[in-house]
Amino acid sequence: MEKKIAELLARMTLEQKVGQMVQAEIRDATPEDVRKYRLGSILNGGGAFPGNDKHATVADWVKLADQFYDASMDTSGGAPAIPVIWGTDAVHGHNNVIGATLFPHNIGLGATRNADLIQRIGEVTAIEVAATGIDWTFAPTVAVVRDDRWGRTYEGYSEDPEIVKAFAERMVVGLQGAPATSTFLDSNHVIATAKHFIGDGGTDQGIDRGDNLSPEQQLLDVHGQGYTAAMSAGVQTVMASYNSWRGWKVHGQEYLLTHVLKKQMGFDGPVVSDWDGVDEVQACSKDKCAHPSNTSKHHPYALRHDQELCGDSASWFEEKASKEAGYRAA
């Protein structure tokens, strides 16, 4: 596999490589955009449906998924065929699709203290996501909620890192199948995402997208347990968090994303940004980030090393407009 990836990279232009790092929203991107710009991924955020039709059928979802896939595999322009991957927020069932099975939010599931149930919910969710032609869900959320004033408290299983640890592992197994078995990522399972790395449930005063002031060991002991469990279950992706850690946005933290997550914890899969998350890094905006010489050691150019996919919509439009105007990356 690594040899095949290296061969593909050797054939790609810089613009094609940048395209592979872009995850565009289906309200703003078309199959033709995937074909033209070689986009690596698409997503449907909350309230996004095929044809902007809330009542789109399963067949409508599959048809659009096939159109995006076919576009990514079109080599008529000379670019190599790399299958596009579609991600969705199936966070309590496949909750964007009419007729899908919905489950309680994580706060309710945590109250059950029933890990077997969590795995079964993951299995059912995976089957229904796969039935719509989608490969990937942005779940589970493994936040350890330490302040109930946080507006997203309902997304966490518990304030107890041991409960979050146990449930994270079982949900990942439910979604992806058990590692080293025939069920792993078979046709009835999808790719899971452990999110949001790291410390979103422990910000000062519970402020959403706020600052987690924990010392590093406490950050890992409390807020890192869900990630270690998810990785032991073979989770394939991790999503970066909007919050800061000790003053600097996690999306711009080379230390946390590269040295802690990838080197210390051993995660070797893709890291995806949260929606427009890179834009919130200090010295960044929707169309550019400051040159690293003008920023701190946590500079936003850490994106080069840490995040393989930028999940956003507005930034994609900026990039598309720049390309149409003849912009080239330096």
Q: Which domains are present in the chain?
A: 1-84 (no CATH), 85-324 (3.20.20.300)
**Where does the pLDDT of residue 318 fall: very low under 50, low under 70, confident under 90, or very high at 90 and above?**
low
pLDDT tens sequence across 130-142: 999 999 999 999 9
Eight-state DSSP code of residue 104: -
231-262 pLDDT tens trace: 999 999 999 999 999 999 999 999 999 999 99
Mean pLDDT of 318-329: 48
Q: Are 67 and 133 in contact (CB under 8 A)?
A: no
Task: Say how many C-beta atoms besides its own lie within 10 A of residue 107's C-beta.
Answer: 16
Continuous segment of H or E residues that includes residue 127: helix 115-131
Mean pLDDT taken over the chain: 90
The reported pLDDT for the residue numbered 203 is 98
Q: Which residues contact 188 (CB under 8 A, 6 or more apart)?
A: 123, 126, 127, 130, 177
The model's pLDDT over 156-208, given as tens digits with 9 standing for 90+, comes to 999 999 999 999 999 999 999 999 999 999 999 999 999 999 999 999 999 99
Please list, in sequence order, all residues whose beta carbon lies within 8 angstroms of the beta carbon of residue 259, skipping any fewer than 6 positions away.
none
Return the pLDDT at 297: 38
